[in-house]
Structure formats: structure tokens, C-alpha cells
Amino acid sequence: MPGDDNPGWKPWIWTLSYISTLMTPTIEEEGELNIKQNLKGDVMVLNLSGKIMGGPDHEKFQTEIKTLISDGYVDILLDMHKVSWVNSTGLGILVSAYHTLKKNGGQLKICQVSDRIDNILNVTQLKLVFETFEKCDEALASFEQV
């Protein structure tokens, strides 16, 4: 095991450092949140790209959700295959949208998340909140089953 020859080695420091490295976005992933709408039957698919973080992303995403609700779209599918990063504030944005839609009789589901973001959803236990799907077709079919 690493550090066996070093009595001062602390494995928990290495673990925290490793986790921090996994969750730190790289320079090539820079980019603001972009949202494109794609209506599929009664479900509005939001194709997201870039990063989901705080600041202007929160206002942009909340405005999008509120506008969709006022236009009668309460079942929303987030296609996240082009999302490179979600920080803790970004997770809060998604949770807030989930509750807003639920309060208005709708649903929020997620498809095509990267392994990295799927890991974040697992670690934060948000996979217990969000229904996630590998393929968007599976997610769209699940709206019909309700």
C-alpha cells in the first residue's frame, strides 16, 4: 500500500486529494450553460450543454422552467450528454427545478449523463430524487407510463 514506508502518511488526505481532482473541471471544459428546447409529444426536452453552476445559470434555468410551466409544459426531460460539469450550486438549481415542476403537477427526468456527473449524482444521493436514464428514448417512454 502506498505510504507503508512512511509512518506519517495519512490515507484520508490522499483520498480527499483524489476526490478533489475528480471534481475539478479542466480548462477545456469551460463554457456557460446553454439550453435548447425540443418538443417530443407532451414532453419538453431541454438539451443542455456547458456547465451548470451558480450565478447567471440559476436565473437562466429558473426563467426557462417558469416560462415552460406558464406555456403548459410541466413534463421536462433534461438531455445532459453535452454537460461537462455540475457543481454543488448547479445541483441545487436542478433540485429547485424538480420541486417547481412537481408542485405544478409535472416531472423532471434526466438522460444521458456522463460517468463523471453520474458519479456526482450517486455520491450526493440525488439519484434517489431524479429518475435518470441512459437513453432519452427510454426516458420519454417513462413519461407515458405515469
pLDDT attached to residue 27: 35
Asked whether residue 69 is assigned to any structural domain, the reply reads yes
Decide: helix, strand or coil at residue 90: helix
Asked whether residue 27 is assigned to any structural domain, the reply reads no
Q: pTM of the entire structure?
A: 0.78
Asked whether residue 116 is assigned to any structural domain, the reply reads yes
Asked whether residue 140 is assigned to any structural domain, the reply reads yes
pLDDT attached to residue 55: 86
Asked whether residue 128 is assigned to any structural domain, the reply reads yes
CB atoms within 10 A of CB 134: 11
pLDDT attached to residue 99: 97
Asked whether residue 131 is assigned to any structural domain, the reply reads yes
Asked whether residue 13 is assigned to any structural domain, the reply reads no
Residue 134's CATH number: 3.30.750.24
Domain around 53: 32-144
- Answer for the pair 110, 132: CB distance below 8 angstroms, yes or no: yes
Task: Look at the chain and report how many structural domains it folds into.
Answer: 1
> Rounded to 5, what percent of the chain is helix, strand, coil?
45, 25, 30
Running along the chain, 146 residues long, what does each successive block of 10 average in pLDDT? Answer: 50 40 42 92 96 90 96 97 94 96 97 95 94 96 84
Asked whether residue 6 is assigned to any structural domain, the reply reads no
